[in-house]
Amino acid sequence: MGLSRRFLPVILLILLIGLSGQALGFVVQDIRIEGLQRISAGTVFNYLPVKVGDEVNTGNSASIIRTLFKTGFFKDVRLERDDDVLVVFVRERPAIAKIEISGNKDLDTDQLLAGLKDIGLAEGRVFKRAILDQVEQELNRQYFARGKYGVKIVSTVSPLERNRVELDIEISEGLTALIKRINIIGNRAFDDDELLDEFQLGIPAWYELFSSKDKYSKQALSGDLEKLRSFYLNRGHVDFKIDSTQVSITPDKKDIYITVVVSEGDVFTLSDIKLAGDMELSQQELFPLIHLRRGEVFSRKQVTASAERLTSKYSDAGYAFANINSIPDIDRENKQVAITFFVDPGKRAYVRRINITGNTNTRDVVVRRELRQMESAWFSGEKVRLSRERLQRLGYFGDVNIETPAVTGSTDQVDVNIDVEERASGSLSAGIGYSQTENFVFNASISQDNFLGTGKKVSASFDTSQATKRFILSYTNPYYTIDGISRGFEVSFRETDFAELNISSYSTDVSRLGMNFGIPVTEFDRFRFSLAYEHTKFFLGSLPSDVVREFVEEKGEEFHDYEFVASWIRDTRDRAIFPNRGGRQSFSAETNLPGSDLQYYRLNYRHARYFPLAKSFTFKLNALLGYGEGYGNDEELPFFRNFYAGGIGSVRGYETNSLGPQDQFGDALGANSKIVGQMELLFPPPGDTFRDSMRFGLFVDAGNVFDLSGGEDIEASGFRASAGAMLSWMSPVGPLSFSVGYPLNEKEEDQTEIFQFNIGAGF
């Protein structure tokens, strides 16, 4: 029995060779495929490495079978001979008829199906068990990376008719494991709390109700460790190391404990700062850009920032390919670091061509006139950046991408390739909104900011509410001259019932025809001048105050005025919506010229300043000042041109326009001067969904209007103040503003309003 077992494989091999030689040692006169169900015979013939006239024998039969197996279509292949006919017997792998994924919440189904398709698991494809096993392993890895260690994945393969299968991938995600503690071991210079403040992960404070920082993520931990490394390197710990990181999970897979072991090393100071290389620019120009001092603690952050400023300086000077390397020389014995900034400026480059693409509707000249980088001029990184910002501020383009590739075969030329993504610059809209002051507001407008691709703006709009009816037709040419002087025209008509705005009982009809010019002074400053004819018709209300009645008796009910306005605007904000830094200030002087029925002037000044703070906080200071007076035959500012205060945009917590002098009925009259100041601490909501479209804030407002023409003094007791919280949201249906303001020093006659809002919606 033992001998027969020993020689059995040899006997089988001899028989197989003999049979194969008997069956396959022949010249093929024909080929027949057996066993096909879904796959066409032509597909098999395309892969089959043998054709009629070829010889099939024991030497190449195995190669034929391997070739067909490599296609992945078959789970069994067999060759047989029928006289001089080669018969290929195959058993196809089943096809995937349907894939069902259930239970997934963290991972989107469409994205999962797209990922499965990329690796060959999709409806209509051949089913391979090995690929399904690979999918299960990858899903487990992705869920583990999200802290869901209790995930369970069950895949079911159900056979169907016609050699097909249905795949059901059932995912039970389980709960995300939460971080219970992060331990840092080895730190002596800084305590745990100071270091953990740098981490994105951690234990939420009691007031962080919607925080997800305690949900473990491998990617987030990697980022936190890099922040920890930067924290030490920016404070002189050149030899800082993270010796080990341990992440342990409790048996129930719900709690995670993280331990980070560090070696701080010693604190190093700067011993010397040098510039080396072929600098081209003088050291007097370069050294002020290096914000480092000998003897101070070494900081990698300051070294990197200094290198970036040097690179930018060279780029602005035309050296498009400049390379600045900061090379540290570490003296561990004396605990000092000498930094050498090695400069390789390359050749100074100039711009060969500026190529513009994507502007299918906008004319080339409209784009080129905004550019500050010119063709055949020295390349300037600053001018390229400024050109991009100016194009983005136009409003015609959704995105602007600028690339500066080197010209092939040249070492001192670059091209500037500008690719713009046009968006609709015209609009036809109707809207309905509601505000506490004007109740329901209806509006409609048609406008074209880029009329026929010329950059000119044409618009017509009207809106109507319980308090106001207004129609405006305007035209503006932003480049009336090649230097960027703008010219515009405006025709408008406005009916206003001031009794509906918490103001005394009267109404006006105002018709206006005007022309304006804008003159750019710098990249951030602009002067604007306008001249307009204005016709005002005055109507007394049902219960006009004594002030209103006396004005009509003295001046009449109809006025023809010629208004001249000069204004200056400076805008350095980093963006128009929800800025984080910079500011915007404007000053305007408006006056009715001699010959007008009413002669007066008004001065307005507004200054908003934004200061970025840590952790996405922005501090805003806002000031609004106004003053007006009559001249010539008019000793006082007409009361209907008075300033008002109270409400959103002024002193929140008090009814809109309600502050200041009142008539005998308790309605606001306004005054000829205004002082309002606001402080706001702004911050985005948690998470990323509304980060760019929503801002929360805490505010303190103070201000009032004062009748200086009537002898009233500006005293501290005359100011009204409030504090509270606010929300601004640039929603898809329009801007929304909410505030909850609590008056801090209201008087008995004041009209307060804690909750205020303004909502607009389009349809």
544 or 671: which carries more pLDDT confidence? 671
pLDDT of residue 21: 42
The H or E element that residue 79 is part of is strand 74-82
CA–CA distance, 75 with 562 (Å, rounded to integer): 92
pLDDT, tens only, 556-595:
889 999 999 999 999 888 777 788 888 999 999 999 998 8
pLDDT exceeds 90 at position 429: no
**What is the mean pLDDT of the segment spanning 696-725?**
90
pLDDT of residue 67: 87
Scanning the structure block, which residue is given the tokens 């991009």? 388
pLDDT, tens only, 167-192:
888 888 877 778 889 999 999 999 98
Smallest CA-to-CA distance from 316 within 392, 400, 393, 373 is with 373
pLDDT exceeds 80 at position 463: no
pLDDT of residue 465: 67
How sure is the predictor about 83, in pLDDT bands with cuts at 50, 70 and 90? confident
Structurally, what CATH architecture does the domain formed by 178-263 represent? Roll (3.10)
Percent of the chain with pLDDT over 90: 32
The H or E element that residue 283 is part of is helix 283-286
Q: How far is CA 634 from the centre of its chain?
A: 52
pLDDT of residue 20: 43
pLDDT exceeds 80 at position 17: no
Highest mean pLDDT, choosing among 13-27, 55-69, 462-476: 55-69
Chain-wide mean pLDDT for the chain? 84
pLDDT, tens only, 682-692:
998 877 677 77
CA–CA distance, 749 with 720 (Å, rounded to integer): 12
Left (φ > 0), alpha (ψ -120 to 50) or beta: where does 395 sit? left
User: What tokens appear for 584 in the block?
Assistant: 């915007």
pLDDT of residue 207: 65
pLDDT exceeds 60 at position 369: yes
How sure is the predictor about 53, in pLDDT bands with cuts at 50, 70 and 90? confident
- Three-state SS string over 699-726 comes to EEEEEEEECHHHCCCCCHHHCEEEEEEE
How sure is the predictor about 699, in pLDDT bands with cuts at 50, 70 and 90? very high
Give SS3 for 687.
coil
Residue type, 597: D
Residue type, 630: G
pLDDT, tens only, 215-239:
888 888 999 999 999 999 999 999 9
pLDDT exceeds 90 at position 52: no
Provide the Cα torsion 402, 408, 413, 414; round to 10°.
0
pLDDT exceeds 90 at position 242: yes
Rg (CA), the chain: 39
> What is the sign, positive or negative, of the torsion defined by CA atoms of 50, 56, 60, 62?
positive
The β-bridge partners of 503 are 668
Confirm or reject CATH 2.40.160.50 for domain 426-762, answering yes or no.
yes
pLDDT exceeds 90 at position 733: no
CA 136-138-140 angle, to 5 degrees, is: 70
- Residues sharing a CB contact under 8 Å with residue 557, sequence separation 6 or more, in sequence order: 537, 538, 539
Confirm or reject CATH 3.40.718.10 for domain 95-172, answering yes or no.
no
Highest mean pLDDT, choosing among 170-184, 201-215, 360-374, 692-706: 692-706
pLDDT of residue 457: 84
pLDDT exceeds 60 at position 727: yes
How sure is the predictor about 501, in pLDDT bands with cuts at 50, 70 and 90? low
pLDDT of residue 310: 93
pLDDT of residue 16: 43
Smallest CA-to-CA distance from 646 within 699, 586, 697, 720 is with 720
CA distances from 733 to 424, 431, 448 (A): 17, 9, 20
pLDDT, tens only, 636-659:
888 888 999 998 889 999 988 888
- Would you tell me how many other CB atoms lie within 10 Å of the CB of residue 517? 15
Same fold, 350-422 and 426-762: no
pLDDT of residue 425: 55
| 18-92: CATH, from 3.40.630.10, 3.40.50.300, 3.10.20.310, 3.40.109.10 | 3.10.20.310
pLDDT exceeds 60 at position 617: yes
> What is the sign, positive or negative, of the torsion defined by CA atoms of 285, 286, 289, 292?
negative
pLDDT, tens only, 268-309:
999 999 999 888 888 888 999 999 999 999 999 999 999 999
**What is the mean pLDDT of the segment spanning 531-554?**
86
pLDDT exceeds 80 at position 18: no
Angle of helix 381-394 relative to helix 300-316, nearest 10 degrees? Answer: 90
CATH topology of domain 269-344: Ubiquitin-like (UB roll) (3.10.20)
CA–CA distance, 628 with 618 (Å, rounded to integer): 33
Indicate the class that CATH gives domain 350-422: alpha beta
pLDDT exceeds 80 at position 502: no
How sure is the predictor about 734, in pLDDT bands with cuts at 50, 70 and 90? low
- Residues sharing a CB contact under 8 Å with residue 502, sequence separation 6 or more, in sequence order: 437, 646, 655, 656, 657, 658, 667, 668, 751
The whole-model pTM stands at 0.59
pLDDT exceeds 50 at position 754: yes
pLDDT, tens only, 249-271:
888 878 889 999 999 999 999 99
Using DSSP bridges, classify how beta strands 426-435 and 755-762 pair: parallel, antiparallel or unpaired.
antiparallel
- Would you tell me how many other CB atoms lie within 10 Å of the CB of residue 220? 18
**How is the chain split into domains, by residue range?**
18-92, 95-172, 178-263, 269-344, 350-422, 426-762
Provide the Cα torsion 555, 557, 558, 562; round to 10°.
50
pLDDT exceeds 70 at position 442: no
pLDDT exceeds 50 at position 197: yes
CA–CA distance, 260 with 187 (Å, rounded to integer): 10
Percent of the chain with pLDDT over 70: 90
Give SS3 for 271.
strand
How sure is the predictor about 7, in pLDDT bands with cuts at 50, 70 and 90? very low
- Residues sharing a CB contact under 8 Å with residue 701, sequence separation 6 or more, in sequence order: 650, 651, 652, 653, 676, 677, 678, 679, 721, 722, 723, 741
pLDDT of residue 111: 76
How sure is the predictor about 462, in pLDDT bands with cuts at 50, 70 and 90? confident
**What is the mean pLDDT of the segment spanning 356-373?**
87
pLDDT of residue 14: 42
User: What tokens appear for 251 in the block?
Assistant: 């048996």
- Residues sharing a CB contact under 8 Å with residue 583, sequence separation 6 or more, in sequence order: 570, 572, 573, 607, 608, 609, 610
